[in-house]
Amino acid sequence: MNSQSNSKDLVGKGSWRVRLAVFLGGGLFISLGDRVHINYGILTQNDHSFFGQAWWVVPTFGVVSVVLLEGWRALRRYYDEAPAEPSLRRLLWSALLFQAAYASSGPFDAWGPWLAVILTLLWLPRITFGFTRARLTLCLLLALLGPLGEALQAATGIFSYDHPDWGPVPSWLFPIYLHGALVVPELEAFFARNATRRAA
């Protein structure tokens, strides 16, 4: 493996603080998209005990956030790729684009497959800029496993989409996960910069 791949672990080995921050921050951040869906009446949950939202939403997205971060690090090592350069601006921009894609499914839910096409086309220049095999793999895996996981959850009756057009889920869900995956490399780099500053 090259020297870049052997660089210091960006998140920090055994860092429970980082994982806790990702769990809480990721859970709350991603749950904002669900709130948009609820407000627009396209998502119905079986519980509203957490400020009008199901209590399990934030912890579920929190676990997903931690798993994504660890999965990304594993993919990067597998492909022997260097970490992203730390940039708060890129992290904020990537997070904003993800939430914009997520929020667009509220007012434009009725567009169905057309919205899915539009969001996918908007994702293409994002994945092209700074392309790596690990990033593409993470995006494709998340776009496949994310909707599949939601379909399995919907089958239990804990929530349902009101206008699904791809089994129990809407087709625009797939590209939302594509956009969400691109936040992860920037998040890893953000924690790397902080770890480096503490070690200095």
Q: What is the tens place of the pLDDT at every residue in 136-157?
A: 999 999 999 999 999 999 999 9
Domain range for 111: 16-199
Is residue 194 included in any domain, yes or no?
A: yes
Task: Determine, yes or no, domain membership for 154.
Answer: yes
Confidence of residue 193 (pLDDT cuts 50, 70, 90): low
Assigned domain for 5 exists: no
Which tokens hold the place of 164? Answer: 């699904």
Enclosing H/E stretch for 45? strand 43-45
Residue 83 counted as domain residue: yes
- Domain annotation covers residue 7: no
Contact at 8 Å (CB) between 26 and 58? Answer: no
Give the number of domains in the chain.
1
**What's the pLDDT at 36?**
96
pLDDT at 199 over 50: no
Buried b (16+ CB within 10 A) or exposed e, 10-31: bbbeeeeebbebbbeebbebbb
Asked whether residue 4 is assigned to any structural domain, the reply reads no
Q: Tell me if 20 is assigned to some domain.
A: yes
pLDDT tens per residue, range 60-115: 999 999 999 999 999 999 999 999 999 999 999 999 999 999 999 999 999 999 99
Can you tell me the distance from the alpha carbon of 33 to that of 35, in angstroms, rounded to the nearest whole number? 5
Q: State the pTM of this model.
A: 0.90
Whether 3 is covered by a domain: the verdict is no
Provide the percentage of residues in the chain whose pLDDT is more than 90: 84
